[in-house]
């Protein structure tokens, strides 16, 4: 058996959920450009990923009702969030622990039949935005805002986060970002979720596993690092010298390059457009201008393409989302794909158990008892 470092270029499973072929991303057969062109809602895209077909109006109305009915969090969960806010924990650690707690408080968490699994999936999808928004407010000594049943998924989150209804531009921007992040074939967190699911563990454990994987700076944490970089460039006032120093010291420039895409990340174009629309004529425009400068320099010097993380940093900042929450927003979207893959894995399951190639010594012998005692003295 040959070893592929990082499992690059290997296939670990078959899926009908999403694909990346010739630098084109598709969800259940629909190219991402098609979804953007028709301005599908995040809720429609979640339904597509879970059912492998777009919903009828009746199906979508019912699905929206299920999400809204399950979006509130219990007093026990809110109390746990309040306690965690006092500990100065990393936001993704809070999300990981709180999602795990949802499983503790769900009496049907250990039920693995299809109906129970679906209900658990709706519960997770609906509650994660409420958890993120509540955490953001609690750590600023503000009371959480209850979700509303008359707002879309994207608008409801921004309302719970900021206390005011978002503009249509803000709502559309977040909706597009959620759609673009909803799934991405067999990325690290999705693979981790499928490995967990292959053991026939519960849904909450699978998503907790995925969140822990997404926390890493080489996966979901990259967009947070991107904005930190933009802030550093703004402070020093010289984009080219800052980036050249990074390159000279062989530091990774966050938000560039991709394991799968070779010519373009099809998602970044839409995020770039949204970053422009949200920031044009505002104080945040400088972040878009800096991003353009960084993209141009890295393309010319390294030939690297911006990935989904690069412009999403400016989009989220323009939506008044704190930078250390960026990865939580990623999780709020990607949970749609994780849950689709968990369900698919369980339907067509075989335990995921690869091999490792041993490269240590063999044939070693333990010394006699007298020599061992002597050597230990």
Which amino acids are annotated catalytic?
A: 258, 309
The dihedrals phi and psi of 218, each to the nearest 5 degrees, come to -85, 0
E-strand stretches of the chain: 18-21, 24-27, 30-31
Alpha-carbon torsion (108, 332, 211, 46), positive or negative: positive
User: What is the helix (H) or strand (E) element at residue 277, kind and residue range?
Assistant: helix 268-279
Query: Which residues, 6+ apart, have CB-to-CB distance to 373 below 8 Å?
Result: none
Buried/exposed 135-161: b ≥16 CB within 10 Å, e otherwise = bbbbbeeeebbebeeebbbbbbbbbbb
CA 342 to CA 340: how far, in whole Å?
6
CA 278 to CA 201: how far, in whole Å?
42
Q: CA angle, corner 48, sides to 42 and 49, nearest 5?
A: 90
| 337 φψ region: left (φ > 0), alpha (ψ -120 to 50), beta (else) | alpha
85: which 2 tokens? 């806010």
CA 377 to CA 366: how far, in whole Å?
16
371: which 2 tokens? 């020599």
CA distances to 31, 115, 176, 273, 315 from 172, in Å: 19, 32, 6, 12, 11
Alpha-carbon torsion (102, 140, 335, 163), positive or negative: positive
CA 273 to CA 180: how far, in whole Å?
13
């Amino acid at each position: 058996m040959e070893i592929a470092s990082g499992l690059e270029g290997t296939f670990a499973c078959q899926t009908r959920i999403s694909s990346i072929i010739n630098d084109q991303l598709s969800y259940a057969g629909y190219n991402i450009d098609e979804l953007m062109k028709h301005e599908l809602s995040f809720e429609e895209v979640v339904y597509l990923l879970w059912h492998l077909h777009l919903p009828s109006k009746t199906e979508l109305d019912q699905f929206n009702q299920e999400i809204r009915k399950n979006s509130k969090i219990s007093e026990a969960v809110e109390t746990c969030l309040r306690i965690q806010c006092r500990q100065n924990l990393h936001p993704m650690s809070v999300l990981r622990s709180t999602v795990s707690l949802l499983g503790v408080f769900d009496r049907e968490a250990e039920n693995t039949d299809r109906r129970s699994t679906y209900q658990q999936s709706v519960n997770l999808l609906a509650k994660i935005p409420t958890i993120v928004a509540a955490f953001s407010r609690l750590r600023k000594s503000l009371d959480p805002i209850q979700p509303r049943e008359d707002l879309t998924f994207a608008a409801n989150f921004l309302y719970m986060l900021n206390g005011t209804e978002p503009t249509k531009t803000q709502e559309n921007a977040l909706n597009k970002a959620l759609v673009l992040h909803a799934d991405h074939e067999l990325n690290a967190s999705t693979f981790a979720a499928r490995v967990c699911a292959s053991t026939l563990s519960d849904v909450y454990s699978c998503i907790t596993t995925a969140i822990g994987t997404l926390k890493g700076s080489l996966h979901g944490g990259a967009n947070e690092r991107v904005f930190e970089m933009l802030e550093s460039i703004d402070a020093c006032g010289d984009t080219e010298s800052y980036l050249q120093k990074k390159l000279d010291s062989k530091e990774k420039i966050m938000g560039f390059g991709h394991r799968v895409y070779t010519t373009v990340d099809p998602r970044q174009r839409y995020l770039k457009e949204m970053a422009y629309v949200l920031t044009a004529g505002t104080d945040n425009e400088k972040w878009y201008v800096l991003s353009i400068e960084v993209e141009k320099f890295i393309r010319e010097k390294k030939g690297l393409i911006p990935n989904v993380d690069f412009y999403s940093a400016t989009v989220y900042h323009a939506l008044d989302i704190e930078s250390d929450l960026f990865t939580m927003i990623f999780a709020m979207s990607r949970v749609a794909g994780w849950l689709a893959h968990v369900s698919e894995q369980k339907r067509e399951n075989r335990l995921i158990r690869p091999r490792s190639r041993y490269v240590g010594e063999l044939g070693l012998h333990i010394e006699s008892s007298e020599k061992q005692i002597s050597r230990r003295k």
